[in-house]
Structure 1
Amino acid sequence: MVYLIFLLAAIVVVIAAIRLNTFGDIISKKSRLSGAAVGTFLIAGATSLPELTTSITAVYIDNPDIAVGNMIGSNVFNLLILAVVDIIYRRRRLFQRVGYKQHLPSAIMGLAFMVIVISSLLIPGSPELFGVGIEMVVIVLLYVLMVRFISNDEEESSSEVAATSKDYSLKAAVVGFIVLALIVFGAGSVLSISGDQLAQVSGLDSGFVGSFLIAASTSLPELVTVLAAFKMANYGMAVGSILGSNLFNMQLLAFTDLLYRDGAILAAAGNSHVFIASLAVFMTLAIIYLLLRPSTTSQWRYAVPSLVMSFVYVVVSYILF
């Protein structure tokens, strides 16, 4: 029964995310926000709601490993989404169609966040501020600074408006966006509780369940967002939604730490998360390379970094399993 509940919750998340992305694109086209800005902040925040409710529920049931593993694992799975989509649609050369100046700050900041997390996991007894790890305070401050100074310059033409945008006003799109975000939030709660029960029934480690099974499920909205953005040829939104979601996930982890009252949440988590965070560092470095490298005419030579990312993800998953 728990498997069925887990599956149904994941399906609800996906369906809601499809419409969520549609309304996000309408808001992008009918407001002054660029596709990259909408992807990095608006859609990234909404599609990260399953991670938020999952981790909050994990704290409530006193399972910090699921809370931490879900956030870090979701970041890794998000990067895997970009890699796999880049391989499948290699003829479009995703990373050669987006301006690196708009996405590089998000990628570098995501890399910094993971380095901070790894340092905190490896060095026990880090200082706390009102029960929150000092590393989380640093992460939040860095994010606030990035949000303040990030550029919202247009990187794509907004002359082509999706057909669905003609059917909704900006106000209706905003209302629809909020309603669907709440649905995603509720389905994420069910996903977390059933995931915890799944760990108990199957005998799997909670860290593994959080980092891979639940993380993959809560990242389904990001997958739908990227595929929909590709369909609309809104490549800035595709990349921005993933990188932005990863940054937002770390803010949600900080919020989760605030709710966790038994000290810093990273101090309570197992060291196995270091391997997942290190994988996130490797994959983020690969994304940075893809954003900066010169153009190439060969399809398979272009796809090599994404192929390596996908292969390493599979190997690490197998080893940890």
Structure 2
Amino acid sequence: MLIPMISDLPVGALLGVCAAAALVILLCGLRMTALADRLADRSGLGEAVVGGVLLGAATSLSGTVVSVTAALDGHASLAFSNGIGGIAAQTAFLALADLLHRKANLEHAAAELANVFQGALLLLMLTLPLAAYTLPELSFWSVHPVSALLVVLFAVGSIATQRVREAPMWRPVRTRDTREDVPDEDDPEPRRTAVLVLVFAGLMAAMATAGWALSLGAAELTARFDLNASMVGALMTAVITSLPELVTTLGAIRRGALQLAVGGIIGGNTFDVLFLTFSDVGYRDGSIYHAIGTPDLFWLVVGMMMTAVLILGMLYRQRHGPAGIGVESLLILGIYGGAIATQTL
């Protein structure tokens, strides 16, 4: 059994397990970007929708496994902070990606109503765990009703995002720096779509396995050194399992798939909120929203602040800002850096 083996490993070997899991997650995430771009073109769904739903959910799979495994083991804080911390980390990655796209502010060039809509959906979903925490504890079979509501919102929001893309009621002003989502004329992948889907599924399975190993390693390190579970979840497992989002975002920008880059981050964040639903189901000692502490809520608020700034940036669409990136990117990095500083002092 792997679980007793993990507990018997020395510190160096534990760190090696976490590093190996991070490498698998990183490499799988890199390959997924190209496949998602091809599938977006072949399906006709568009980069924003495929990035926000398919790629966002796929790259979040390893993080899902981390949260569920932690919840099943009774580590409520680690499970909660892993999902919420990932949202903050991935939003910061998008601000870093703005540095790579030098022609204009990324939020300006990747103008797409579907991404704005999903950003607002994400902000709405983030308010529900906070509401659950403030309300009296209520659960059915140890699952809070908010967990079910999050799934409903995600499903309805995903359908609505596709409808918004197909029949938008307003369109962003096109400028010389706006990059249109136009399918590639030459498809570099000669394989059939079904084969691409199977390869994509295989990469997802590898990422899930890596996420499971990472969760076990992180939980063991937390217990062995009496670390703050919220800090480990928000700044270790969340960042590692968010590496696919960083890789896919940078890879998408290099390919010119800007809507895919932005949509992948926002969609991944939206799916990450569902970590709380999965964790609530896995946590058997009652509602997970009433088993967390103030540090976990801190990262929830940070995620909400960063998401709000991102939405404002997508609406304002500043073409050029200080240091060659948008003001919203600087604010996002400032919020994330300040949050890390306040929690590590």
Bin for the TM-score computed over the shorter chain:
over 0.9
Distance 1:202 1:29 in 2: 48
Equivalent residue number for residue 264 of structure 1: 287
Assess if the C-alpha contact under 8 Å between 2:38 and 2:187 holds in 1: yes
Task: Please point out which of 140, 159, 169 is paired with 1:148.
Answer: 159
SS of the residue corresponding to residue 260 of structure 2 reads: helix
Task: Please point out which of 114, 118, 125 is paired with 1:102.
Answer: 114
Distance 2:281 2:46 in 1: 32
Equivalent residue number for residue 169 of structure 1: 192
Assess if the C-alpha contact under 8 Å between 1:87 and 1:303 holds in 2: no
Distance 2:105 2:338 in 1: 25
Bigger drift between 103-112 and 18-27 goes to 18-27
Distance 1:157 1:17 in 2: 23
Equivalent residue number for residue 149 of structure 2: 138
Aligned residues: 318
Which residue identity does 1:109 align to in structure 2? L
Bigger drift between 143-152 and 189-198 goes to 143-152
Which residue identity does 1:41 align to in structure 2? V
Assess if the C-alpha contact under 8 Å between 2:105 and 2:320 holds in 1: no
Distance 2:161 2:207 in 1: 28
Distance 1:48 1:185 in 2: 9
Which residue identity does 1:233 align to in structure 2? G
Which residue identity does 1:17 align to in structure 2? G
Say whether residues 1:76 and 2:109 are aligned partners: no
Q: Residues 302 and 86 (structure 1 numbering): CA distance in 2 closer, same or farther, change over 3 Å?
A: closer
State the Cα RMSD in Å. 1.8
Deviation at residue 199 of structure 1 after TM alignment: 1.7
Deviation at residue 299 of structure 1 after TM alignment: 5.2
Which residue identity does 1:11 align to in structure 2? L
Assess if the C-alpha contact under 8 Å between 1:86 and 1:93 holds in 2: yes
**CA displacement 1:206-232 (0-9 Å, x = unmatched):** 111011111000001111110111111
Say whether residues 1:43 and 2:55 are aligned partners: yes
Equivalent residue number for residue 127 of structure 2: 115
Bigger drift between 277-286 and 252-261 goes to 252-261
SS of the residue corresponding to residue 99 of structure 1 reads: coil
Assess if the C-alpha contact under 8 Å between 1:29 and 1:161 holds in 2: no
Assess if the C-alpha contact under 8 Å between 2:101 and 2:253 holds in 1: no
Distance 1:307 1:7 in 2: 30
**CA displacement 1:161-216 (0-9 Å, x = unmatched):** 453x23x2211111100111100000000011101112233432011101111100
Equivalent residue number for residue 221 of structure 1: 244
Which residue identity does 1:67 align to in structure 2? A
Distance 2:187 2:326 in 1: 29
Which residue identity does 1:159 align to in structure 2? D
SS of the residue corresponding to residue 33 of structure 1 reads: coil
Task: Please point out which of 112, 129, 136 is paired with 2:140.
Answer: 129
Deviation at residue 39 of structure 1 after TM alignment: 0.5
Bigger drift between 264-273 and 22-31 goes to 22-31
Equivalent residue runs for 1:21-60 within 5 Å = 21-60=33-72
Q: Residues 284 and 173 (structure 1 numbering): CA distance in 2 closer, same or farther, change over 3 Å?
A: same
Distance 1:84 1:309 in 2: 10
**CA displacement 1:84-129 (0-9 Å, x = unmatched):** 11134343321112234111111111111222222323x1533223
Distance 1:7 1:160 in 2: 39
Unaligned runs of 5+ residues in structure 1 are: none
Deviation at residue 131 of structure 1 after TM alignment: 2.0
Assess if the C-alpha contact under 8 Å between 2:115 and 2:262 holds in 1: yes
Distance 2:238 2:103 in 1: 29
Task: Please point out which of 205, 221, 229 is paired with 2:228.
Answer: 205
Distance 1:162 1:290 in 2: 33
Assess if the C-alpha contact under 8 Å between 2:71 and 2:79 holds in 1: yes
Deviation at residue 258 of structure 1 after TM alignment: 1.6
TM-score, normalised via structure 1 length: 0.93
TM-score, normalised via structure 2 length: 0.87
Assess if the C-alpha contact under 8 Å between 1:90 and 1:303 holds in 2: no
Identity of aligned residues (%): 26
SS of the residue corresponding to residue 56 of structure 1 reads: helix
Bigger drift between 268-277 and 218-227 goes to 268-277
Equivalent residue number for residue 158 of structure 1: 183
